[in-house]
Structure 1
């Protein structure tokens, strides 16, 4: 696990408060979010040797789902919360899944252009303000290889999310939705670099 960021930023931790972090994985299990992650991994169409980035990886649940289904992909996660990353590191190690985990911010990804074949982001976008959402999507577009895919899930959202994704240079598929037990509906966006 490395610490990388050229500047510090404020961020909203998973579940909104640092002291709620111990309940993060419990909530993941009871909410039905594992099924959303399985959908996301399937929609990404991952193949052997591809490089995968999870922006706002939290405790590594989506990375673990991707790695268990595709043991031959290279996993990378970024999150601003060192405690979440420490938990992700332990969880991925116990699953026998090698992964690179970096402390970083969605608006400032410390990777070269065209570095990844697929980028995931799950229930993180709503934590960002309007300008930061645009910065994050531009950064994701920058680090994706030509033909790469962004698979993003977030609480049910309006057209401004899809408009922002399109404005960042992606071609969008129709939004898919899935109900969660506790949070209502989640929208899943699949967007490809054109």
Structure 2
């Protein structure tokens, strides 16, 4: 979850060590808040978002699944427990969040967590059937969103799909109050009310066929939208046609 303006890893202030700074936004906003992250996101209703996203994704045993911006692993672990036969990789730049995810996944086979950035995935082309992302893309500026979308398309197998939920704007009144606060705290890219309609455009420009599955207003998080973005399988169809026997 890269910040718009990368910063040095740490700073000094009047001879004392200052709060560590990163080239990414930590899962909880600040490292010191990480112990409270899982409890807070549960109270905010992240479990419902994750359940809806996984129902949409249609995971099946034998698939290879990647989550980008996995944080402390809650979505990845829910996916693995719902479909034990999948092979799942969770990727995030925050090493402290990853350490927490690894502890929670102890004893589970077929799931691992790695440090990585969505805009430069360390995986071969066409190596995943599904890519998942929950409330992550709004952390990225447009250039990084475009690079991340291109990477998602690259690592998806032809016919594979990205399933993503993200903020799509902040509403007035009680609805979206938290989303408005998050914009002020740097959780949204500059001059943006979340991912919004621009996300479908970014995914489409990367060569993914993007559709909006649903858009809902959450009482605390504001408007959230679920997207499905499929890698065009024309490439696989061309390969199949080339290998088919010629008619007599």
Is TM more than 0.5 here? yes
CA contact (8 A) 2:167 2:196 kept: no
Give the match for residue 188 of structure 2: none
Q: Secondary structure at the match of 1:10?
A: coil
Give the match for residue 185 of structure 1: 223
Do residues 115 (structure 1) and 121 (structure 2) align?
A: no
Q: Give the whole-Å Cα distance in 1 for the aligned partners of 2:139 and 2:117.
A: 12
Give the match for residue 144 of structure 1: 156
Give the match for residue 56 of structure 1: 69
Give the match for residue 78 of structure 2: 65
- Residue 97 of structure 1, CA deviation: 4.8
Q: Residue 84 of structure 1 is aligned with which of 97, 100, 116? A: 97
Question: Segments of 4+ in structure 1 off by > 3 A?
Answer: 178-181
Q: Give the whole-Å Cα distance in 1 for the aligned partners of 2:211 and 2:198.
A: 15
Q: Which runs of 5+ in 1 are unaligned?
A: 1-7
Q: Give the whole-Å Cα distance in 2 for the aligned partners of 1:64 and 1:152.
A: 16
Deviation readout 1:140-191 (Å, 9 max, x if unpaired)? 1100000101011111242111100111111122241234342212111111
Deviation readout 1:65-106 (Å, 9 max, x if unpaired)? 111111100010100011100111111226x35412110111
Q: Secondary structure at the match of 1:13?
A: coil
In the TM superposition, what are the counterparts of 1:144-163 in structure 2 within 5 Å? 144-156=156-168, 157-163=195-201
Higher strand share: 1
Q: Residue 168 of structure 1 is aligned with which of 185, 206, 221? A: 206
Do residues 39 (structure 1) and 52 (structure 2) align?
A: yes
* TM-score, with structure 1 as normaliser: 0.90
Q: Residue 102 of structure 1 is aligned with which of 111, 114, 117? A: 114
**What is the root-mean-square deviation in Å for CA atoms of aligned residues?**
1.6
Higher RCO (C-alpha 8 Å, min separation 6): 1
CA contact (8 A) 1:30 1:181 kept: no
Q: Give the whole-Å Cα distance in 2 for the aligned partners of 1:10 and 1:79.
A: 12
Q: Give the whole-Å Cα distance in 1 for the aligned partners of 2:42 and 2:196.
A: 26
* Total equivalences in the alignment: 186
Give the match for residue 177 of structure 2: none
Q: Which runs of 5+ in 2 are unaligned?
A: 1-8, 10-21, 169-194, 233-248
Q: Which has the larger radius of gyration?
A: 2
